[in-house]
Amino acid sequence: MLEALPPRGALIADRGYDSNCFRSALKARGTVPCIPPIRSRKTQLPYDKALYRTRHKIENLFARLKDWRLIATRYDRCAHTFMSAIRIAAAVIFWL
């Protein structure tokens, strides 16, 4: 899954992805991890809290996309048609 990510930029993830192995793999690719540390970690690692707050907008988009039956059940066989439906639904969601 990491090979599909762009090599630069930041990756915003939740606490479930907080591991030293995952963080080092991201840093080796040149990606900055924006992952809050789990509470049981002995040394709390810093992260960009302002950037992490933008994750909420992405989660809201996915929640609204699930309201569209066509997208939630993935009726389309062709990946191109499915991606087009996602783009149309996202445009309608942001327009409303």
* Whether residue 70 has pLDDT greater than 80: no
In this structure, the answer to whether residues 45 and 70 fall within a common structural domain is: no
pLDDT at residue 13 is higher than 80: yes
Count of domains for the chain: 2
DSSP state of 15: G
**How far, in whole angstroms, is CA 11 from its chain's centroid?**
8
Domain enclosing residue 61, as ranges: 56-96
Do 14 and 43 sit in the same domain of this protein?
yes
- Same-domain pairing of 7 and 41: yes
Same domain, 19 and 63: no
Which tokens is 63 given?
């929640």
Closest listed residue to residue 36, CA positions, set 14, 58, 64: 14
Q: Are residues 48 and 75 in the same domain?
A: no
CB 39 within 8 A of CB 17: no
For residue 75, what pLDDT band results from cuts at 50, 70 and 90?
Answer: confident
Whole-number average pLDDT of the chain: 85
Helices (H), 1-96: 20-29, 49-53, 55-65, 69-73, 79-95
Cα–Cα dist 49/51, whole Å:
5
Q: Please tell me the pTM assigned to this model.
A: 0.65
What is the C-alpha to C-alpha distance for residues 70 and 66, in angstroms, rounded to an integer?
9
